[in-house]
């Protein structure tokens, strides 16, 4: 069953099209990655999915509901490429804020916050203000927030940005665990090796056009690596 259905959407900024006639179906319980160079339209598509902007044409549904319906975003967690929050908040305060927004209180909230801090290995930062954290530490706080509440769909925009090699490995393990729990992951990225290792399905976007959509397994049956396939696909798209 598809958790996301994207049908013939287009989006323009003035005379320039950021997305042109994009259609995609993302299956529930899969790790999906939208790949593309900078400026391909990946972040624009995420903003349309989250109803942060509106399409010029076409439609997007999440859990069978049009994204214009606020209920479509129930059970959806989103972390942008550069996580930011009020600098005077502590890591614990950030996670408690997100928990309360989801209606979680008391002992259950404390338990979920402690678990998320431990999972991202930032328990030692629990009472540190964001203003005193490095970029990588702040990114871990943001990623910890996706573990708060019962999120069926998790949308990550360039989640490996700012993470050191240990952070990248930790995040990959978290993504695998979330998949085992039946969660759906929608990941915007251009880090091809990591996506090859953790994704079930991919799509390649460039200059607002969809060049490919399919399984990683089908790609690797024909190509040595996702990296090779990506560059060949994008270069062939440029030549058209």
| DSSP state letters, 88-102 | T-BHHHHHHHHHHHT
pLDDT tens string 198-237: 999 999 999 999 999 999 999 999 899 999 999 999 988 6
Give the helix ranges, DSSP H, for the chain: 42-49, 91-101, 106-119, 135-144, 165-180, 192-198, 216-222, 226-239
pLDDT at 237: 64
CATH number where 203 lies: 3.40.50.300
pLDDT at 38: 85
pLDDT at 220: 93
Q: How far is CA 203 from the centre of its chain?
A: 13
> For residues 107 and 83, which has the higher predicted lDDT (pLDDT)?
107
Q: In degrees to the nearest 10, what's the CA dihedral of 234, 173, 185, 216? A: 40
CB 51 within 8 A of CB 57: no
Range 61-77 average pLDDT: 92
CB 157 within 8 A of CB 43: yes
CB 5 within 8 A of CB 58: no
Q: Is the pLDDT of residue 15 over 80?
A: no
Tokens of 98: 């997100």
pLDDT tens string 87-105: 999 999 999 999 999 899 9
Q: Is the pLDDT of residue 240 over 70?
A: no
pLDDT tens string 108-151: 999 999 999 999 999 999 999 999 998 889 889 998 999 999 89
pTM above 0.85, yes or no: yes
Q: Is the pLDDT of residue 1 over 80?
A: no
Report the candidate in 34, 39, 32, 36 with the shortest Cα–Cα distance to residue 231: 36
Instruction: State what percent of residues in the chain have pLDDT above 90.
Output: 67
CA distance readout (Å), 146 to 14, 85, 149? 34, 15, 8
Number of domains in the chain: 1
Q: Is the pLDDT of residue 239 over 60?
A: no
pLDDT averaged over every residue in the chain:
91
Range of the domain at 162: 2-239
């Amino acid at each position: 069953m598809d958790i996301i259905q994207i049908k013939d959407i287009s989006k323009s900024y003035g005379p320039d099209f950021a997305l042109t006639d994009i259609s995609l179906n993302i299956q529930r319980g899969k790790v999906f990655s939208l790949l593309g160079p900078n400026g391909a339209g990946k972040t624009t598509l995420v903003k349309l999915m989250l109803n942060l902007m509106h399409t010029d044409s076409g439609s997007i549904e999440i859990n069978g509901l049009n994204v214009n319906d606020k209920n479509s975003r129930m059970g959806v967690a989103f972390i942008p490429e550069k996580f930011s929050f009020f600098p005077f908040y502590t890591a614990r305060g950030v996670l408690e804020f997100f928990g309360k927004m989801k209606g979680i209180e008391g002992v259950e909230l404390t338990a979920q916050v402690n678990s998320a801090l431990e999972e991202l290995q930032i328990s030692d930062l629990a009472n540190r203000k964001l203003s005193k954290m490095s970029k990588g530490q702040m990114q871990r706080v943001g990623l910890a927030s996706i573990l708060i509440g019962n999120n069926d769909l998790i949308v990550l925009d360039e989640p490996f940005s700012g993470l050191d090699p240990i952070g990248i490995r930790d995040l990959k393990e978290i993504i695998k665990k979330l998949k085992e729990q039946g969660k759906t992951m929608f990941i915007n990225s251009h880090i091809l090796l990591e996506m090859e290792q953790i994704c079930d399905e991919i799509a390649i976007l460039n200059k607002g056009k969809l060049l490919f959509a399919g399984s990683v397994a089908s790609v690797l049956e024909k190509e040595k690596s996702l990296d090779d396939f990506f560059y060949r696909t994008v270069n062939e798209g440029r030549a058209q």
